[in-house]
Structure 1
Amino acid sequence: MPHPVSKAQRYAPAAAATASEAAHQVRTSLRGLLLYFLPFPLLIGAIAALVAGNVASTLVLGGSFAAYMLAATIARRGFKLEAEYQRRKIARAPKTPFKTVAALFTAVTTGVLAWLGADYGVLASIMMAAATFLGFALSYGLDPRRDKAGGISLGVTVDEIIEAVDAAEIRIKSIEQARRAIRNPDYSQRLERITSQARQIITTIEEDPTRLSRARKFLKVYLDGTEKVAQGYAKSQNNQQGTTTNLDTDFNRVLDSIEQTFQEQQTKLLENNNFDLDVQIAVLEQQLKREGVF
């Protein structure tokens, strides 16, 4: 009988990956929040000008506040795309330079505010706008402009890798959405482990793109099957009759198979053991078909 400690260590890599992913999401969600708070004195000034009957000042201050808030929203979109770009080893550069657009918006707004709101001269206002753009660029950086090709070799292209990774990420996010809707804490934790393990496989593909051909079918069966059973189970909770004992048993059995197959074959995938991997995939696929997933 295996020692309890070995069982506890079984999911250590997945747990670490989950914690890292959570930390990454927290950092991304917090970045740039200050940009929303800095313009609030302008809103107060606009309200005061409105009370005083100064229409021109109200429009300048209120318009500047709105422009700064829009720039902050654009910047946050850029931060999110950049974080995803940095997280991946192979990625396309963002098509739209949101951070650069936000920097320009902020700079122009500052220049106009200095000119119309604080009565600075045109040259001084332009210098303030330029200083604002430079300050934004130094604080937050500008958008990445080059694709990350990683260790691409002959026989596989950047587009193939990115297409496979993007498709896998869509399925993972769908599984995570279903996981949040599932009220059973044990099932929720197991699905969290599964998505974490899936991201580990994606990382190994990015580290060595030649693994894509071996991992493609594995990811398809693994993620498609998990997505369908997770979404189906989550929807069954909203039915009037709810889940049944048979449904819980079937769902539990499918999760067992998915976890076990993935854990056993992850090492074989890295070791180029194609035969054992294909056998295990075929076994899992047959079970998913019996459960009505495919």
Structure 2
Amino acid sequence: MRAFLAGLAIALLPVLGAAENSRLQSLDTTDTGRAWEAVGRLDINGAGFCTGTLIAPDLVLTAAHCLYDKRTGRRIDPAAMEFRAGWRNGRASAYRRVRQAVAHPGYVYDGAVSADRVRHDVALLELDRPVRNTTVLPFTIAGQPRRGARVGVVSYAKGRAEAPSLQRVCDVMARQQGVVVMSCDVDFGSSGAPVFSFDGGVPRIVSVVSAKAEMRGARVALGSEIEGQIALLQAQLSSGRSHAVIAAPGANRVRVNGARNRTGARFIRVKPAGSGG
């Protein structure tokens, strides 16, 4: 099934051409991974993974769709999730189970791939115990990225599940309806990966990867703007409004050439307006 991002008229907007992006750098050694230990692999129900990031000792930021079973459309029990901070070559700096999880209240996991779905594809996980490790320092949140900004992504993905990779330079090509279009190199499993700005030489999270897409024949990443959303998610956690294990209405999974994605990130193709079915 090919899913189109209907409702986004990105093809009609002026889109910046991407400058030369940096290549992926594997963070598979202690030296290369030292600054990124707060990015971890979120293992889900023994069946797949997403990428998550500590933004507080006991809070992990990821994508909302990672909280759903892609075969059934049902919410996954948070107890079936484990966050592995700095996971690299079979070891992590910290292992934590998830106590509760909340997604943006506007997020709906169903078959309709839309601007609303990507814009609200943000979740916050509360860990069973805080990570108190001097080598694992949570990242802070910055304002929304501007069009033309240079950003970077740290993610796990298909073919690089045993160590994260850093792409230090990619571009924000467009922003619309709370969706950020970037030239970053992401793949299955990159869902929930942090997008960083490096203003002042300090990495701060400005977006979360929601999906990989194709636009005008070029591969792009789609992210959610997170400014203002973190406080909302924290309030939900504090009030006890965490995820219940319920079925999502009409849920189905996005497939590429009929193959199931077992690792997280959704593939979609941005349909140019007026291009036909």
* TM more than 0.5: no
Which structure is higher in RCO with an 8 Å CA cutoff and minimum separation 6? 2
Give the helix-richer structure, 1 or 2: 1
Relative to the length of structure 2, the TM-score reads: 0.22
Give the strand-richer structure, 1 or 2: 2
Larger Rg: 1
Relative to the length of structure 1, the TM-score reads: 0.21
